[in-house]
Structure 1
Amino acid sequence: MPYDPAWPATFAKWGTCLRVALGDAAARIDHIGSTSVPGLAAKPVIDIQISVASLEATDAFLRPLTEMGLVYRADNPERTKRYFREPPGQRRTHVHVRQLGSFSQQFPLLFRDYLRCHTAARTSTRQPRSTAQPNSATTVPATSKQKMPSCGTSSDALTPGPNTPAGLPVPVTPDQAFRSQSEPRSLSNLTVLNAIPVWTGECGTLSG
């Protein structure tokens, strides 16, 4: 379907709720996938990436996410992440928990920012989608579009909730990551980690 300008705000609502639930367990929370690229036609599915220090320390994120109603897909075959789906009855949402600094965590951020900065690449990516038939498996019924998390603000400033650890930073826009105070500052614009080329945040510039 054509790009929907409401997608960033939809992510921002989720990001606010996830930050309150996870606190510093999440180094950053990002909008990834096709719906994170302005102007790109996409399936109406919000993809969210939560970056954590370790996938093995599941206590830090598994219980908070399931208590939000997210459904843990333990049988997901991709072992570089832990995968969750939306609460039953809500619009389709994919939550990917990945290890901070790993290739699988950096790649979707790099790809997203590349498409945001390169119109030609965005156009070539959009073309096949615009002529494709709607996929009934991902079409969101009109009645489910109104069912969104309601535990915080979706404005440009993230207001800490009652469960947010003291000192958690608040500045957030729907287009940015919900970053934890414990995230290394070198990650603020995606610098090189583990010699993997990553996006620096400036159009036309790669480092690594």
Structure 2
Amino acid sequence: MQRTFLVVALAAAACAGAALTAQTKEAVDKATAAAFDNRMFAGPPGAKAYACFVRRYDANHLAQHPKQKVSAMKLLVSAEDAPEDKTTNYSFRLGVTYRHRPGNFDSSGYCNHAIESGHEVRFECGVDCEGGGITVALSKDNKSATARLGRILGRIMVWNRDKPDDDAREALFAGADDKIFRVDRANSSECAELVTDRQELAALRHK
């Protein structure tokens, strides 16, 4: 698994920023962005903050959505202060399992600062090297998030944790029942499996 994450990191470094450059839009004003941060991270992000969202789809839901491939999803959104740039950097990690096949699949990337579209404030997050991505918005009560596939290349690239590097990469396409996912806010420890860096994992567990 460590080799897989190393290859992913090296690939990301080789074409850093490619996924989001084409998606860049005008950000909202500072007050709106700060308000969205407060909602996402349950307060001002400070030096570093996390928001974890989880959903395990039950049999009834899957029966009503027969074309849905994803049976469970975990989403970790992070904010980190970058004082040298006088800004805050945002990133995401995504974990999915499928209903008809074994294995755990992960993805990660960076997010733009909050934008507004159709009266909805959200993050647009992309995977480097044209790896697609997701958008992340919040429910009105801030208790759940909506992750949407399809706005960025119609897919997101994911990596199988348990396969050799050459076979690990594949695409999760925004299919008929795999475009919009509601995931519920959870304790940060629920998303710990998405973090591989020991120092960051320790920080996450103290949130």
TM-score, structure 2 normalization = 0.30
Higher helix proportion: 1
TM-score, structure 1 normalization = 0.30
Q: Select the structure with the greater relative contact order (CA < 8 A; seq sep ≥ 6).
A: 1
